[in-house]
């Protein structure tokens, strides 16, 4: 009897065996989709290969082989197996996440484009002044306008009407005034297909040439870590390497970027260099478009896949090079099962393909840096900016001093001016001078995460855990400061333990508040805000960035989104409003993230001939992340930070897995987490697992998400194989009460806790 092993998209760590009836072409290539009976219905599975017929069991026969050419090439199957093992993710779910949705469904309706009545902004109103003059008392029009902006300037009429809770007459009135237009449009267009590519610079510099040659001399599977400072011209290096590799017929390439919408400039350059050979895979594609792109790659019509995380699964064969741009970005980690890190999986795939790997960044991750220290990657560097530009000088403003001076100078009877606690006179003057000279400013409000921490307004001291180098998180009910690593708890102090000041503050500041302050201060400035609230529309990011590129924005204010890869020569000022917010998150990567963010955002300034300046406001000017960013000193930062990660051990010196238990009821969740941790502790005892440490359990730093309470504990081990075994064992066997809504997930190599 002929049998095959089939993987099905179910949350189980097992595969299934089916028989293959006569008349079906044999053998069936691994990676082919097969239609099989499963739980009283037909489902799509992936053939993993021939199987031994089990004894005494009657197998069900497959219904059909769906693919004539396997949907998943060999190297991808290999990558899926690795992801499934390493991240303790069921293989079937991993394989499913590699395929476009329509290919994973037993009966696929053909997705089609259709027309729809849409409302589109035709007149932008970037400054507060313009807005107030235009709308005056027309509140509803203003609300509609701002809703549209938040969706990237265009939205389906009917949806907008419901959102704004207005009559269609409002749109007609706005159209009459020339603010918007209303018309029928085909939705589901691929905006990237319409974007013009941008020609890359014609010739690499000598430094770029050296790096390109070194990469091209690499053995198959060699990993390179390209440490090139911001503006050093890494994109041109990637392009030249691709050009050379693709000279060999049958070769293809994969380029990973952190987020397509935020890196449209980079993508435009790849399209400028390679035109239609590039398939841009992005989240804005409809199912049909995604399938088209996937099929053109599978057939070899397009040879370069550019995209975020999942472009790693492009069904190309003969991949000769995989590029991971901004390799330090945490968005490369998938936050749902399978919780893979695209950089690590890219290396695995590249090895299977015999492809070169280029990991590029101005601020490489400590993981990659250490990989090079271990001899598993070759480090290359571009220490200077391309075209002779200089890194901008960074000025640090100590906000403790600013506050003190403001308080001293203030009229005790006047209300306190909130501007003074947000903007230093230095930063305001810098913005003003840019406005006078018609240059552009970027203002960063670093607001990663939402965990509140407590800082003394007078001396800047932050409440940290005495056992871990991590700030304590403020909890409201019951009021306490909690360490999310070791569960240490402390009452909320009433005065600063260091200077006895009673000005202890919970920190946190919103982009909206800041935008309002800037708009009031500079009413004529054209301001754009970029954060999750203004970029809910799929193309909103790109549209905002295009406006900046066209010079239609004077001040771009945003969260860390604005720090990524932007290359605008007229940006001559970067202001960081509060460097401390990220520093005090309860995460061992807090310093690394802050350093990366400050370096990256600083790197947006001074790319053109006019040069540039960076102003960083902080209450912790001596933090080493700030100090090293100030001098653009990556090596100094790495040395200090690696030192700090040894004791207590954190990645890259130890492997960690975060085990998260979530549930609707707080007490049941806590109990289940405690029980799970106890179960693991017993397992460790029974098996004598000495190189495994369990830390916790404790509430997660964000202890409730979408109405679910979250508890977690950490597993640490210096042995990757042991971690693989334990992670899988926990994911598969760890008891959470059956038939309950409690969930347990294992997040190996977590990027946030």
Annotated binding site: 456, 459, 465, 468, 483, 486, 496, 499
Taking CB under 5 A as the rule, does residue 376 contact Zn ion? no
Which residue lies nearer to ligand ADP by CB, 466 or 609?
609
Binding partner of residue 228 among Zn ion, ligand ADP, none, CB under 5 to 8 Å per kind? ligand ADP
Among 18, 192, 485, 588, binds Zn ion (CB under 5 A): 485
Angle, in degrees to the nearest 10, between helices 634-644 and 590-602: 170
Contact call for residues 174 and 180 (beta carbons, < 8 A): yes
Which residue lies nearer to ligand ADP by CB, 228 or 284?
228
- Rounded to 5 degrees, what angle do the CA atoms 174, 177, 180 make? 50
Binding partner of residue 235 among ligand ADP, Zn ion, none, CB under 5 to 8 Å per kind? ligand ADP
Which residue lies nearer to ligand ADP by CB, 207 or 419?
207
Among 136, 162, 499, 635, binds Zn ion (CB under 5 A): 499
Which residue lies nearer to ligand ADP by CB, 228 or 701?
228
Chain centre to alpha carbon of residue 748: 17
Which residue lies nearer to Zn ion by CB, 522 or 711?
711
Which residue lies nearer to ligand ADP by CB, 93 or 236?
236
What x-and-dash track marks residues 429-458 binding Zn ion by CB under 5 A? ---------------------------x-x
- Residue 331: burial class (beta carbons within 10 Å; 0-12, 13-18, 19+): middle
Smallest separation (angstroms) from ligand ADP to the CB of 548 = 14
Distance CA 559, CA 95 (A): 34
Taking CB under 5 A as the rule, does residue 472 contact Zn ion? no
* Three-class SS state of 425: helix
Return the range that interacts with Zn ion (CB under 5 A); candidates 293-301, 465-473, 585-593, 661-669: 465-473
Which residue lies nearer to ligand ADP by CB, 205 or 489?
205
Binding partner of residue 230 among Zn ion, ligand ADP, none, CB under 5 to 8 Å per kind? ligand ADP
Smallest separation (angstroms) from ligand ADP to the CB of 609 = 12
The pair of structure tokens assigned to 746 is 């294992």
Distance CA 262, CA 260 (A): 5
Which residue lies nearer to ligand ADP by CB, 569 or 648?
569
- DSSP characters for 20-66? --TTS-SSPPTT-EEEEEETTEEEEEEEEEE-PPPTT-PPPBP-EE-
Smallest separation (angstroms) from ligand ADP to the CB of 385 = 7
Which residue lies nearer to ligand ADP by CB, 178 or 388?
388
Smallest separation (angstroms) from ligand ADP to the CB of 229 = 7
- Residue 165: burial class (beta carbons within 10 Å; 0-12, 13-18, 19+): exposed
Binding partner of residue 204 among Zn ion, ligand ADP, none, CB under 5 to 8 Å per kind? ligand ADP
Contact call for residues 710 and 701 (beta carbons, < 8 A): no
Taking CB under 5 A as the rule, does residue 503 contact Zn ion? no
Which residue lies nearer to Zn ion by CB, 72 or 656?
656
Binding partner of residue 232 among ligand ADP, Zn ion, none, CB under 5 to 8 Å per kind? ligand ADP
Contact call for residues 333 and 277 (beta carbons, < 8 A): no
CA-based torsion, 294, 295, 299, 304: positive or negative: negative
Bind-site residues for Zn(2+) = 456, 459, 465, 468, 483, 486, 496, 499
Taking CB under 5 A as the rule, does residue 464 contact Zn ion? no
Taking CB under 5 A as the rule, does residue 128 contact Zn ion? no
Among 149, 289, 327, 461, binds Zn ion (CB under 5 A): 461
Binding partner of residue 653 among Zn ion, ligand ADP, none, CB under 5 to 8 Å per kind? none
Residue 299 has a CB neighbour count (10 Å cut-off) of: 10
Distance CA 295, CA 305 (A): 12
Smallest separation (angstroms) from ligand ADP to the CB of 601 = 12
Smallest separation (angstroms) from ligand ADP to the CB of 564 = 10
Task: With CA atoms as reference, report the closest residue to 369 among 565, 227, 222.
Answer: 227
Which residue lies nearer to ligand ADP by CB, 33 or 604?
604
Smallest separation (angstroms) from Zn ion to the CB of 491 = 16
Distance CA 652, CA 151 (A): 40
Taking CB under 5 A as the rule, does residue 468 contact Zn ion? yes
Query: How crowded is the C-beta side of 51, counted as CA atoms within 13 Å?
Result: 17
Which residue lies nearer to Zn ion by CB, 143 or 459?
459
Interacting residue ranges for ligand ADP, rule: CB under 6 A: 201, 203-205, 208, 228, 230-236, 386-387, 567
Among 172, 501, 631, 681, binds Zn ion (CB under 5 A): 501
Binding partner of residue 532 among ligand ADP, Zn ion, none, CB under 5 to 8 Å per kind? none
The pair of structure tokens assigned to 60 is 């069900």
Edge-to-edge strand order for the sheet containing 304-307?
278-281, 304-307, 252-256, 319-325, 356-361, 223-228, 378-382
Contact call for residues 568 and 549 (beta carbons, < 8 A): yes
Instruction: Name, in order, each residue with C-beta under 8 angstroms of 123's C-beta and a sequence gap of 6 or more.
Output: 178, 179, 180
Distance CA 204, CA 198 (A): 16
- DSSP characters for 335-385? SSSS--BHHHHHHHHHHHHT-EEEEEESS--HHHHHHHHTTSSEEEEE-S-
Distance CA 706, CA 685 (A): 36
Binding partner of residue 485 among Zn ion, ligand ADP, none, CB under 5 to 8 Å per kind? Zn ion
- Tell me the residue number closest to ligand ADP, measured at CB: 233
Smallest separation (angstroms) from ligand ADP to the CB of 503 = 41
Smallest separation (angstroms) from ligand ADP to the CB of 345 = 23
Cα distances (Å, whole numbers) of residue 561 to 73, 158, 241, 309, 534: 35, 30, 28, 17, 11
Smallest separation (angstroms) from ligand ADP to the CB of 148 = 31
Return the range that interacts with Zn ion (CB under 5 A); candidates 194-202, 488-496, 512-520, 646-654: 488-496
- Rounded to 5 degrees, what angle do the CA atoms 714, 719, 724 make? 65
User: How many residues at the interface with Zn ion, by CB under 5 A?
Assistant: 15
Q: What is the 3-state secondary structure (H, E, C) of 171-227?
A: HHHHHHCCCEEEEEEECCCCHHHHCCCCCCCCCCCHHHHHHHHHHHCCCCCCEEEEE
Distance CA 608, CA 97 (A): 42
Among 304, 496, 616, 726, binds Zn ion (CB under 5 A): 496
Taking CB under 5 A as the rule, does residue 731 contact Zn ion? no
Smallest separation (angstroms) from Zn ion to the CB of 472 = 8
Smallest separation (angstroms) from ligand ADP to the CB of 571 = 12
Smallest separation (angstroms) from ligand ADP to the CB of 209 = 9
E strand intervals along 567-686: 571-576, 613-618, 655-663
Among 299, 498, 506, 733, binds Zn ion (CB under 5 A): 498
Binding partner of residue 695 among Zn ion, ligand ADP, none, CB under 5 to 8 Å per kind? none
Taking CB under 5 A as the rule, does residue 714 contact Zn ion? no
* Three-class SS state of 19: strand
Distance CA 483, CA 133 (A): 50
Which residue lies nearer to ligand ADP by CB, 268 or 289?
268
Residue 306: asked if its preceding bond is cis (omega within 30°), the reply is no
Contact call for residues 558 and 600 (beta carbons, < 8 A): no
Binding partner of residue 242 among ligand ADP, Zn ion, none, CB under 5 to 8 Å per kind? none
Smallest separation (angstroms) from ligand ADP to the CB of 201 = 4
Residues lying near Zn ion in the complex (CB under 5 A) = 456, 458-459, 461, 465, 467-468, 483, 485-486, 488, 496, 498-499, 501
């Amino acid at each position: 009897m002929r049998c095959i092993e089939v993987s099905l998209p179910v949350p189980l760590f097992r595969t299934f065996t089916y028989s293959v009836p006569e008349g079906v072409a044999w053998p069936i290539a691994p990676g082919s989709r097969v239609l099989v009976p499963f739980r009283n219905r037909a489902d799509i599975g992936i053939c993993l290969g021939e199987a031994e017929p089990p004894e005494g069991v009657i197998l069900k026969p497959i219904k059909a082989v769906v693919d004539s050419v396997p949907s998943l090439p060999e190297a991808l199957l290999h990558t899926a197996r690795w992801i499934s093992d390493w991240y303790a993710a069921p293989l079937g779910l991993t394989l499913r996440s590699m395929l476009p949705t329509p290919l994973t469904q037993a009966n696929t309706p053909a997705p089609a484009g259709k027309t729809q009545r849409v409302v589109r902004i035709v007149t932008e109103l970037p400054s507060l002044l313009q807005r107030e003059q235009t709308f005056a008392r027309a509140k509803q029009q203003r609300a509609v306008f701002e809703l549209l902006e938040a969706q990237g300037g265009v939205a389906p009429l009917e949806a907008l009407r419901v959102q704004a809770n207005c009559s269609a007459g409002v749109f007609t009135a706005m159209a009459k005034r020339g603010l918007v237009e209303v018309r029928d449009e085909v939705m589901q267009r691929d905006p990237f297909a319409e974007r013009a590519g941008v020609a890359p610079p014609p010739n690499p510099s000598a430094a770029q040439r050296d790096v390109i040659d070194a990469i091209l001399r690499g053995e198959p599977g060699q990993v390179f870590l390209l440490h090139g400072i911001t503006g050093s011209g890494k994109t041109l290096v990637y392009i030249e390497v691709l050009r050379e590799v693709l000279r060999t017929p049958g070769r293809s390439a994969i380029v990973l970027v952190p987020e397509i919408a935020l890196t449209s400039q980079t993508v435009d350059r790849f399209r400028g260099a390679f035109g239609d050979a590039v398939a841009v895979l992005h989240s804005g594609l409809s199912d049909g478009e995604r399938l088209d792109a996937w099929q053109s790659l599978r057939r070899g019509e397009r040879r370069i896949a550019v995209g975020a995380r999942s472009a790693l699964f492009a069904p190309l064969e003969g991949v000769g090079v995989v590029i991971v741009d901004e390799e330090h970005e945490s968005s490369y980690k998938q936050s749902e099962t399978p919780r893979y890190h695209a950089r690590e999986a890219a290396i695995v795939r590249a090895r299977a393909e015999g492809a070169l790997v280029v990991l590029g960044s101005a601020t490489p991750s400590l993981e990659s840096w250490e990989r090079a220290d271990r001899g598993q990657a070759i480090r290359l560097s571009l220490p200077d900016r391309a075209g002779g530009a200089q890194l901008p000088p960074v000025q640090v403003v100590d906000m403790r001093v600013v506050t003190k001076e403001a308080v001293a100078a203030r009229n005790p009877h006047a209300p306190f001016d909130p501007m003074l606690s947000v903007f230093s006179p230095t930063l305001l003057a810098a913005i003003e001078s840019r406005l006078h000279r018609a240059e552009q400013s970027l203002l960063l409000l670093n607001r990663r995460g939402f965990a509140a921490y407590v800082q003394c307004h007078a001396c800047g001291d932050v409440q940290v855990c005495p056992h871990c180098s991590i700030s304590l998180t403020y909890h409201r009910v019951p009021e306490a400061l909690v360490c999310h690593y070791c569960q240490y708890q402390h009452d909320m102090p009433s005065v600063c333990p260091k200077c006895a000041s009673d000005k202890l503050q919970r920190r946190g500041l919103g982009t909206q508040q800041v935008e309002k302050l800037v708009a009031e201060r500079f009413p004529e400035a054209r301001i754009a805000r970029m954060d999750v609230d203004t970029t809910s529309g799929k193309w909103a990011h790109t549209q905002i960035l295009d406006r900046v590129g066209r010079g239609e924005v004077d001040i771009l204010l945003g969260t860390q989104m604005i720090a990524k890869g932007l290359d605008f020569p007229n940006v001559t000022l970067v202001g960081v409003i509060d460097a401390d917010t990220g520093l005090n998150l309860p995460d061992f990567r807090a310093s690394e993230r802050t350093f990366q963010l400050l370096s990256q955002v600083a790197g947006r300034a001074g790319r053109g001939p006019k040069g540039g300046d960076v102003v960083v406001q902080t209450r912790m000017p001596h933090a080493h992340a700030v100090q090293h960013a100030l001098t653009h000193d990556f090596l100094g930062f790495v040395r200090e930070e690696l030192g700090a990660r040894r004791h207590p051990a954190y990645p890259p010196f130890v492997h960690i897995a975060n085990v998260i238990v979530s549930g609707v009821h707080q007490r049941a969740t806590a109990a289940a987490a405690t029980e799970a941790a106890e179960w693991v502790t017993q397992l460790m005892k029974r098996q004598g697992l000495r190189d495994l440490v369990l830390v916790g359990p404790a509430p997660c730093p964000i202890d409730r998400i979408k109405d679910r309470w979250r508890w977690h504990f950490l597993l640490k081990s210096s042995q990757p194989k042991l971690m693989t075994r334990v992670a899988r064992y926990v994911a598969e066997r760890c008891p959470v009460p059956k038939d309950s809504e409690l969930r347990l997930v294992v997040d190996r190599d977590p990027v946030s806790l």
